Amino acid sequence: MSDDGGHLVEDCIFCKIIRGEIPSFKVFEDDQTFAFMDINPINPGHALVIPKFHAENLYATPDEWFGPTMATVRRVATAVDKVVQPEGMNLLQANGPGAKQSVFHLHMHIIPRSADDGATMNWELVPGDMDAIGALAEEIAAAVE
C-alpha cells in the first residue's frame, strides 16, 4: 500500500525507517537516499544505504533511483573507511531468499573488513551494542562529505 504516490509502502521496515516510524542511527540523507547503521553489524561501521523508493530488489529498481543510491554508497563507504580505517571493505547487495535477502527493499551493505574477522557471505544476526552503534553513527555522519 502506497502512502506517497508510489514511492514507499505501508508495511516495509525500511520504508518505515525512512518515514521515521522506526528509529535508526542515520548517517546520511538526501532527497533520494537514506543511510543508517546496521543494528546487527558484522563488524563496527556496518552501514546500509537504501533508496527512498520502494523496490523489492536490484531488478525492480528504476535507474533514476539506482544511480543516486550507488552515489550515496560511495559517499558513506568513504566516510566509514575514514572513521573505522578497516583493512578492506565489502559492498553486499542481496536479491532473493537464496542470497539471504531478509528485507525486500533494495539495500546495499557497507561492511568494513579485516583479513582475520571470520565473516562469511551469509551471517547470523547478532544484535550489537546500541550505544556503540549510535556513537559510531555520529562519527560516520560527521565524516560524510
In the structure, what pLDDT confidence band is assigned to residue 8 with cuts at 50, 70 and 90?
Answer: confident
Q: Catalytic: 54?
A: no
For the whole model, what pTM was predicted? Answer: 0.88
Sort strands 108-113 and 88-92 into parallel, antiparallel or unpaired: antiparallel
Q: Count structural domains, the chain.
A: 1
Most confident of 6-10, 42-46, 96-100: 42-46
Domain of residue 38, residue span? 13-143
pLDDT attached to residue 124: 79
In a domain, 72, yes or no: yes
Question: Does pLDDT of 3 surpass 60?
Answer: no
pLDDT in tens, 42-88: 999 999 999 999 999 999 999 999 999 999 999 999 999 999 999 99
CATH number of the domain within which 115 lies: 3.30.428.10
- In which residue are the cell numbers 551469509 written? 122
Say if 44 falls within a structural domain: yes
Q: From the candidates 7, 105, 107, 109, which is the catalytic residue? A: 107
